[in-house]
Structure 1
Amino acid sequence: MTVSKTVQARIARIWRGRTTRAKADAYAVYLRSEGVAPLLEKALGAQMFREDRETESEFVTISYWESIEAMSRFAGPDPRRIHHLARDAEFLIELPDGVQVLEIVVNEPG
């Protein structure tokens, strides 16, 4: 992903969560407004993915950052720590206990 701002993304922060298929549509709306929208105010960019399975749906949110320091200004001193949304316990099958933080090695438009 090439982000729209002039600063190059060097770090990706990846969050995953699962909900039941019955709650997936409502959670998609909630996650976009309460989770992704605030990310877009601070991150260089963000993406939200959804995979529907037979009985559950998995959501993946990836945010892009110029550095660990920039991400920490948003996420706090431990950028792998989860900041659950207010209604996550209502929607999610289990609350995730961390996020994945990866260095972006290649970031070229296709």
Structure 2
Amino acid sequence: MQQPRIARIWRGRVLRDRADEYELYNYEAGILPLVERALAVQTFREELGAEVEFTTISYWPDVESMARFTGRDPTDIHHLRRDPEFLVSLPSAVQILQLRSSHGFGLPPFEPG
């Protein structure tokens, strides 16, 4: 199994009354295709008063594998077709982080190197 070395983090906010609907849409249209290609995917939901923020973290062996999935620069935002309908504002960037060590979640530990 390849080790994750890169984490790609996306965040988007929706109004609370549309959060459940968006969560299902995001899972079907965004997460399921991602699960087929990334090493792992995590989704988070945070209640923030009138809004709900969704965070998706996908793990990759390298930036090149992300680029093969997106078909372009993996740092570019790829909005789902209905995102403008749901999201309070369209995110303008994703965060790309180098994973320096990992412990737990059934993955073999690794250290920087």
Match of 1:75 among 70, 73, 76: 70
In structure 1, how many angstroms separate the alpha carbons of the residues matched to 2:53 and 2:76? 19
TM-score normalised to structure 1 length: 0.92
Instruction: Report what 1:59 is aligned to.
Output: 54
Amino acid at match of 1:25: D
Q: Gaps (5+ residues) in structure 1?
A: 1-5
Percent identity of equivalent pairs: 51
Shift of 1:14: 0.3
Correspondences of 1:25-104 after superposition (within 5 Å): 25-104=20-99
Cα RMSD, aligned residues only: 1.0
CA distance in 2, matches of 1:40, 1:14: 14
Q: CA deviation at 1:78?
A: 1.3
The AA in structure 2 aligned to 1:7 is Q
1:12 alignment partner, one of 7, 12, 16: 7
Three-state SS of the structure 2 residue aligned to 1:102 is strand
CA drift of 1:54 comes to: 1.2
TM-score, normalised relative to structure 2: 0.89
**Structure 1 stretches (4+) deviating beyond 4 angstroms?**
none
CA distance in 1, matches of 2:28, 2:93: 21
Paired residues, number: 105
